[in-house]
Structure 1
Amino acid sequence: MRERPPFKTLFAVPLHCEGCINSVKNALSRVEGILNVNCYLEQQLIEVEGTAAPSKISASLRETGKDCILRGSGSPNSAAVCILEAHAPNLENTVRGLARLVEVGPDFTIVDISLKGLKPGIYQASIQQNGDISRGAASTGGVWEEDTRGNEARGKLGQVQVSNEGSGSIILDASIAIWELIGRSMVISPSAELLHQDDEATLVGVIARSAGVWENDKIVCSCSGKTVWEERVEQTGKGML
């Protein structure tokens, strides 16, 4: 396994005073892989450098009692995100997972997957050939490069263990570049062979490019007029992690 190079991640966090900053720094000091933390009180931003996955940093920040919003990861054109949803009919809060992807070196991408609201068990994570999710996983074209590489297909990412509480997470290192993934889809399925378009245990989403560090300075959405924190409340209400 290759050594993971350090990269930067930027979070918006409600910071009101130096006490908030000290609380955040103390929490992050206990996260393995974090090398440096810079806090910007006026902008209410925290920049973290190291090898720790974004989900680990987010969880540590929330343990302080503060919410956080990821505003960027890695260098320009090196990050992507995938919102994972169930496509079975008549479901509420279909969002069941989130995958964050950060390219930290040549053909070296971290895949950070978090799931919730699923039945316990082992789930297969894979990159699919295309981004057509009109019929759920059934229209995504199969596993990326499976036909040409067989069991070595780069699209087969690995397995995620979902606990009895319905949550699961995994952090994978993949020999993939971000540009190869944009517009494809990701599928999380309880079966590596059969993908069912109406199976509520199968999740699917399109991989989209996301901002690098300091590339996203949006405070208010130009479409809705809502602040990023108002959008955050709305998203969490829909099941977003």
Structure 2
Amino acid sequence: MQGRPPFKTVLAVPLHCQGCVNSVEKALSVIEGTINVECHLDSQLVEVEGTAAPSIISKVLAGIGKDCILRGSGTPNSAAVCILETHAPNVKDPIRGLVRLVQVGEKFTIADLSLKGLSPGVYQASIRQSGDISKGAASTGGVWEAGERDRGKLGQVDVDETGSGGILFDSAIDIWEIIGRSLVVSRKTDDFQPDDDTTLVGVIARSAGVWENDKVVCSCSGKTVWEERTEQIGKGMI
């Protein structure tokens, strides 16, 4: 879809000096669709305005040796996230994907999908009627609003020979309509089998909008966001 509205993305990035600020601003400003980049040295936050997916911004930062944590995207009550995992038994790393969703206009939501650890091929991404994942994808019901402009069908994503894939979808939906529903990524659209480790499923949950998440230390564990990130990476999170 052409003419995608711009939105803001905020990330926590280690910024040690003005040199760090300069290198980050230089790297992010050349991303296609970027309108403005602001680095906040005192709070260690980077704000990007434009149409680039958060996953693209993260990859560019990784390319210059900078780690990052997404702190928010879009505006309040406009963002969601879905962690995708296989329900196949005896899988060492069940988490295989992540979807970030940001509503940037009325009935206009962007879905930023990243996958890893899958067999190469073409996969279908769809929002399902139910948020019941007790039996994996098999208990999620049919495609949400199939037939009504097929709003629940996000589209296809290609997984390459390394087992990775990523794509940005434009969807005619509002975020509030899909909170609590599930999202499935699979080579098929129905008749899901519980032992298929290439079928991924997760529940769509509300996520922080820009500046809504200013947590530095977790109140329950006392760990910093960077310590939490290290743990999550160890568990297979993207």
TM-score range, shorter chain: over 0.9
Matching of residues 73-88 of structure 1 within 5 Å: 73-88=73-88
Matching of residues 1-241 of structure 1 within 5 Å: 1-146=1-146, 149=147, 152-241=149-238
SS in 2 for 1:85: strand
Q: How many Å apart are 1:191 and its aligned residue? A: 1.3
Cα distance in structure 2, aligned partners of 1:227 and 1:159: 37
Q: How many Å apart are 1:2 and its aligned residue? A: 4.5
List structure 1 segments (4+ residues) > 2 angstroms apart after TM superposition: none
- Size of the aligned set, in residue pairs, is 238
For each residue in 1:93-114, what CA deviation from the matched residue of structure 2 results, as whole angstroms up to 9, or x when unmatched?
A: 2110000000000000001000
Q: How many Å apart are 1:18 and its aligned residue? A: 0.5
TM-score normalised over the length of structure 1: 0.96
For each residue in 1:102-157, what CA deviation from the matched residue of structure 2 results, as whole angstroms up to 9, or x when unmatched?
A: 000000000100000000000000000011111100111121112xx17x321111
Cα distance in structure 2, aligned partners of 1:144 and 1:197: 21
Q: How many Å apart are 1:194 and its aligned residue? A: 2.7
What percentage of residue pairs aligned between the two structures are identical?
69
Amino acid at match of 1:18: Q
5+ residue gaps, structure 2: none
SS in 1 for 2:155: strand
Q: How many Å apart are 1:197 and its aligned residue? A: 2.2
Cα distance in structure 2, aligned partners of 1:196 and 1:233: 33
Q: Does the CA contact (< 8 Å) of 1:58 and 1:68 recur in 2?
A: yes
Q: How many Å apart are 1:225 and its aligned residue? A: 1.6
More displaced 10-residue stretch of structure 1: 21-30 or 7-16 = 21-30
More displaced 10-residue stretch of structure 1: 166-175 or 194-203 = 194-203
